Structure 1
Amino acid sequence: MVKTNAGRFFEDYQIGQVIGHAVPRTVSGGERALYHMLYPARHALYSSDSFAQACGLAGSPLDDLAAFHVVFGKTVPDVSLNAVANLGYAEGRWLKPVWPGDTLRSVSEVIGLKQNSNGKTGVVWVRTEGLNQHDEVVLRYVRWVMVKKRDTDAPAPDAVVPDLAPVLAVADLAIPKGLDFSNYDFDLAGEPHRWGDYEVGEKIDHVDGVTVEEAEHMMATRLWQNTSKVHFDGTMREDGKRLIYGGHVISLARTLSFNGLASAQMIVGLNAGAHANPCFAGDTVRAWSEVLDKAETDVPGVGAIRLRLVATKGGAPFDLRGEDGKYLPSVLLDLDYWALMPV
């Protein structure tokens, strides 16, 4: 009897299949310290208990993307161990804060399948939920991956492509209970800019950059218990390079966006996302943002702002696509999300 796990291949998935992922994870202040060590994370709500308490919360929760990485990492052995590429995200909602001491686990449901024309790979869509020790859903999102076939002669399944919302409605955003920015301290937050200071269509060059180091990206990926072979094993690619985990690029870009968006404190919705080009050690990641939309909420002092976050490894700020409509080779990430900001 084979004891080891080679991971699922495309023909191993079925519509409606529910996968309970292994190894629950209890998070602590250690995850926060390591997250802030690996990325230039400085948003005040996730750095200071007293700042978070002044904003109506019991204390400082775990960084929203750290929670995402923990939930995502659980899914890798079952969803993307044999993936060729992680293609995109949609309908992501942060439903409850994650607190130090919470135990997170992940469950995914297969909601879409489509074999590619080459007959060697197919696309798998899954809806993943991260749950805490009380069985409360803290995070829910859809992602789709291109996965290898084990047997190219295996028949193709009937194609099912899920109908996904292009943008989350503001009414669908979950604002943490008690959050109140009425007495928000802009000096402690790091910038004076508030929700009303941003205009739809405005673009912000975040100026700073971080050069990705081989050891750091592998340490980060191990922290999230992401086991995808392409991030660690140099023999998995013909060029001998280790591919940088896409979430590592997301966190680098988000934390770089502090310079210009210091008060975009909490990510509460993920509308869409694409890893446009691969990232490797030695690349210097920079970021820029575009304000796509703004909306009021019924919570005191809290506004919602929809942002496009673009990570690049060169090129001029605000360059995104070429004349052919395709992403430029310098673009690493194109992410569309909702954040909460003081009005």
Structure 2
Amino acid sequence: MSKTNPGRFFEDYRIGAVIRHAVPRTVTAGERALYHALYPARGALYSSDAFAADCGLAGSPLDDLLAFHVVFGKSVPDISLNAVANLGYAEGRWLRPVWPGDTLRAESRVIGLRENSNGTSGVVWVRTTGLNQSDEPVLEYVRWVMVRKRDPGAPAPDPVVPQLAPAVAADALVVPQGLSFAGYDFALAGEPHRWGDYAIGEVIDHVDAVTIEEAEHMLATRLWQNTAKVHFDATFREDGRRLIYGGHVISLARALSFNGLANAQMIVALNGGAHANPCFAGDTVRAWSEVLDKCETASPGVGALRLRLVAHKGAAGDLTLRAEGGKHAPHVLLDLDYWALVPL
């Protein structure tokens, strides 16, 4: 009997099943250094213990998306090892900061299944929770993945498609305990723009661009212990190309958004997201954002912006999102909807 694990296929999932993912991982300041080396990340709260302390925290937590990648990576061997593509996200919330020295693990509950009409694959919805060493949830999110079938002739399950909220409600946002922007230092943060300077409907072209290198993507994906075959095995796709991990594009776009959104310090919710088109090494990524909503919070000096972050491989200044017919334009890589905390 084989001792190796080929990964789960579509017919292996059952509604309500809870999967505890291996392997717990203790994260350190080394992960922060690598994250900031891989992406042009410059958020002051995640770069400086002194800046974070002036904002009421014990020190600088690890980057919000770093925590997301670690938890996501834990789930890959059980959820998306045989994925064709990761399709989207919803109902994501960061529930408490992750600190250097924390040990993260993850578990997922299957909440939806639907076979595709071609009979060779299906879509699996899971709700994944990341927990620390005290079994406290640090983040949660729903994602859905297209997964190959082992046997195209296997009977299809009754379709169950979960009803997901279009956005995390403003009153459900979790502001880290003690966080205060009452004495926020805009000069050290890098830009003067505060919550009141942004208008709903405003679009910000982030100007800068980064060309994705194969080596950087491979290092990043290994760093998060993401083992999905489409990212490593050039024989897994018919075109012989390795697909860039969607989270790599998210972090790259988020880092590019610093130019215009330097004070969007913490991501606290993920309302929705789609990897609209595949990304490959050699693509040059640009980003723009749209302000979708605003709210204040009960924490001193802390407001929240709901932002759409779009990453694309089009020309500089191209803010096109949709093609004729309503689908994402072919140059759009990422369409992400999130809430971020900003000084009032």
Distance in structure 2 (CA, Å) of the matches to 1:38 and 1:297? 32
Aligned residue in 2 for 1:11: 11
* CA–CA separation in structure 2 for the residues paired with 1:116 and 1:278: 20
Separation in structure 2 between the aligned mates of residue 158 and residue 232 of structure 1, nearest angstrom: 33
Aligned residue runs from structure 1 range 229-248, under 5 A: 229-248=229-248
Shift of 1:293: 0.3
Which residue number corresponds to residue 263 of structure 2? Answer: 263
- Structure 1 residue aligned with 2:185: 185
C-alpha separation in 2, matches of 1:128 and 1:256: 27
Distance 2:107 2:237 in 1: 29
What is the DSSP-based 3-state SS (H/G/I as helix, E as strand, rest coil) of the residue aligned with 1:158?
Answer: coil
Q: Are residue 74 (structure 1) and residue 74 (structure 2) matched? A: yes
Q: In the aligned structure 1, how far is the partner of 2:204 from the partner of 2:261? A: 9
Q: CA offsets per residue over residues 188-212 of structure 1, 9 Å max, x none?
A: 0000000000000000000000000
The 5-angstrom pairing of residues 30-109 of structure 1 reads 30-109=30-109
> Could you tell me which residue of structure 2 aligns to residue 339 of structure 1?
340
Instruction: State how far apart, in whole Å, the 2-side matches of 1:216 and 1:119 are.
Output: 36
Cross-structure match for 1:141: 141
Shift of 1:239: 1.6
Query: How far apart are the structure 2 equivalents of 1:116 and 1:319?
Result: 30
Q: Which amino acid aligns with 1:302?
A: V
The residue that corresponds to 2:115 in the other structure is: 115
Measure the CA separation in 1 of the matches of 2:2 and 2:45: 48
Q: Are the equivalent residues in 1 in contact too, given 2:253–2:309 (CA < 8 A)?
A: yes
Residues 69-117 of structure 1 deviation map (CA, whole Å, 9 limit, x = unaligned): 0000000000000111100000000000000000000000000001111
The one-letter code of the counterpart of 1:55 is C
**Corresponding position of 2:318:** 317
Tell me the SS of whatever aligns to 2:178.
Answer: coil
Corresponding residue for residue 156 of structure 1: 156
Name the amino acid aligned to 2:242. R
Given residue 191 of structure 2, which amino acid in structure 1 is its aligned partner? E
Q: Any idea what SS the aligned residue of 1:56 has?
A: coil
Corresponding residue number in structure 1 for 2:202: 202
Letter in 2 for 1:23: V
Q: Distance in 1 between matches of 2:324 and 2:150?
A: 37
Could you tell me which residue of structure 1 aligns to residue 253 of structure 2?
253
Q: CA deviation at 1:240?
A: 1.3
CA distance in 2, matches of 1:317, 1:335: 17
RMSD (Å) for aligned C-alpha atoms: 0.6
Deviations 1:249-269 (CA, angstroms, capped at 9, x unpaired): 000000000000000000000
Distance in structure 2 (CA, Å) of the matches to 1:313 and 1:37 = 22
SS class of match (1:98): coil
Once the 2 structures are TM-superposed, how far is the Cα of residue 243 of structure 1 from its aligned partner?
Answer: 0.6
Q: Which amino acid aligns with 2:288?
A: W
Provide, for residues 14-46 of structure 1, a one-character-per-residue CA deviation record: whole Å limited to 9, x for no partner. 000000000100000000000000000000000
1:327: which partner in 2?
328
- Given that 2:83 and 2:230 are in contact with CA atoms closer than 8 Å, whether structure 1 keeps it comes out as no
Aligned-partner Cα distance in 1 for 2:16–2:237:
32
Report how far residue 313 of structure 1 moved.
Answer: 0.5
Structure 2 Cα separation of the partners of residues 228 and 146 of structure 1? 12
Q: 1:317 & 1:108 partners in 2: Cα distance? A: 38
Shift of 1:317: 2.6
Match for 2:272: what amino acid?
Answer: A
Structure 2, unpaired ranges of 5+: none
Q: Say which SS state the counterpart of residue 236 (structure 1) adopts.
A: coil
Partner of 2:131: 131
Q: Give the Cα separation in 2 of the matches to 1:298 and 1:317.
A: 37
Distance 1:101 1:317 in 2: 42
Larger mean Cα displacement after TM superposition, 94-103 or 227-236: 227-236
* Deviation, structure 1 residue 2: 1.0
Deviations 1:107-163 (A, max 9, x none): 000000011111111100000000000000000000000011111111110110111
Distance 1:153 1:305 in 2: 48
Post-superposition Cα deviations, 1:159-203, rounded to whole Å, max 9, x if no partner, equal 101111001111111100000000000000000000000000000
Q: Distance in 1 between matches of 2:239 and 2:171?
A: 46
- Give % identity: 78
**Per-residue displacement from partner, 1:36-75 (whole Å, max 9, x unpaired)?**
0000000000000000000000000000000000000000
Q: Which residue of 1 aligns with 2:228?
A: 228
In 1: Cα distance, 2:58 partner to 2:335 partner:
33
Q: Give TM-score scaled by structure 1 length.
A: 0.99
> How far 1:237 moved relative to its partner?
1.3
3-state SS of 1:36 partner = helix
Q: 2:323 touches 2:330 (CA, 8 Å); kept in 1? A: no
